[in-house]
């Protein structure tokens, strides 16, 4: 029950802020401005990955780290509550992206590119999972001030993997997915869910022994 009390508290704390809501508008701009279908959905994942550190910034500005230490809450409730809060933000961002993609497709006299939308959502969620697994433990362990650069880690990891792949020629990609769509979607969501779980588990181990000031 306390996990949901914290989730509610957390969303009340950082979601209704300009700094949190304005990036959602960026998703709409990307969806309208870029003619490539699915870009709004990709943007929603990138925006969410950059916003994972936002609640930690709010914690430091508001001395909320100390508050969490004296509230009758387990550390687990805080970690799980925050992970769900970030997931909620991602769901909101991806909903905006899907609606934007749909609206732009209609306005341009086309149809919703379901295949691209499905793949984009799955890949986006996998990206968020990777971001969570990298950022959540660091931010819970050392806070925003010392850990904020970790926000760039997921993009750097992906760029690094692509560079290694290109350099060594491990996997050739000719613009077509060789795997069937359902497999790509399941794999994407599976990786994302795994990333969330791994991020939360490691973050809990890190946060449990953190001394709060």
Closer CB to other proteins, 26 or 67, in the complex: 67
Residue 88 C-beta: closest distance to other proteins, Å: 17
Residue 122 C-beta: closest distance to other proteins, Å: 35
Tell me if 18 contacts other proteins by CB under 8 A.
no
Closest CA to 180 of 122, 128, 124, 101: 122
Tell me if 9 contacts other proteins by CB under 8 A.
yes
What does the alpha-carbon distance between residue 210 and residue 31 come to, in Å, rounded to a whole number? 41
Scan residues 42-61 and list those touching other proteins (CB under 8 A): 58, 61
Closer CB to other proteins, 5 or 187, in the complex: 5
Give the CB-side neighbour count of residue 156, counting CA atoms within 13 A. 7
* Burial of residue 203, with CB atoms counted within 10 A of its CB: 0-12 exposed, 13-18 middle, 19 or more buried: buried
Tell me if 64 contacts other proteins by CB under 8 A.
yes
What does the alpha-carbon distance between residue 25 and residue 38 come to, in Å, rounded to a whole number? 16
Tell me if 99 contacts other proteins by CB under 8 A.
no
| Residue that has been written with the tokens 């020629």 in this structure | 169
Tell me if 72 contacts other proteins by CB under 8 A.
yes
Tell me if 105 contacts other proteins by CB under 8 A.
no
Residue 68 C-beta: closest distance to other proteins, Å: 9
Tell me if 197 contacts other proteins by CB under 8 A.
no
Residue 6 C-beta: closest distance to other proteins, Å: 8
What does the alpha-carbon distance between residue 152 and residue 162 come to, in Å, rounded to a whole number? 16
How far is C-alpha 111 from the geometric centre of its chain's CA atoms? Answer: 27
Residue 159 C-beta: closest distance to other proteins, Å: 35
Alpha helices in the chain (DSSP H): 2-14, 18-33, 39-51, 54-61, 64-70, 75-107, 114-147, 153-168, 181-208
Residue 78 C-beta: closest distance to other proteins, Å: 11
Residues that bind other proteins (CB under 8 A): 2, 5-6, 8-9, 12-13, 58, 61-64, 66-67, 69-74, 209, 211-213
């Amino acid at each position: 029950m306390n996990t949901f009390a914290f989730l509610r508290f957390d969303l009340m704390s950082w979601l209704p802020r300009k700094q949190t809501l304005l990036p959602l508008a960026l998703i709409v701009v990307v969806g309208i401005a870029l003619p490539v279908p699915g870009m709004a959905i990709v943007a929603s994942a990138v925006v969410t990955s950059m916003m994972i550190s936002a609640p930690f910034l709010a914690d430091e500005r508001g001395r909320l780290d100390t508050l969490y230490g004296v509230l009758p809450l387990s550390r687990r409730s805080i970690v799980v509550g925050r992970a769900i809060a970030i997931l909620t933000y991602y769901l909101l961002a991806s909903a905006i992206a899907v609606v934007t993609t749909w609206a732009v497709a209609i306005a341009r006299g086309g149809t919703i590119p379901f295949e691209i939308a499905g793949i984009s959502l799955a890949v986006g969620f996998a990206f968020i999972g990777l971001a969570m697994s990298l950022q959540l433990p660091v931010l819970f362990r050392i806070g925003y001030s010392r850990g904020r650069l970790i926000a760039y880690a997921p993009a750097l990891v992906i760029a690094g993997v692509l560079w290694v792949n290109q350099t060594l020629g491990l996997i050739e990609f000719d613009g077509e997915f060789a795997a069937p769509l359902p497999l790509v979607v399941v794999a994407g969501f599976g990786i994302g869910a795994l990333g969330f779980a791994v991020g939360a588990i490691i973050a809990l181990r890190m946060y449990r022994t953190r001394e709060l000031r």
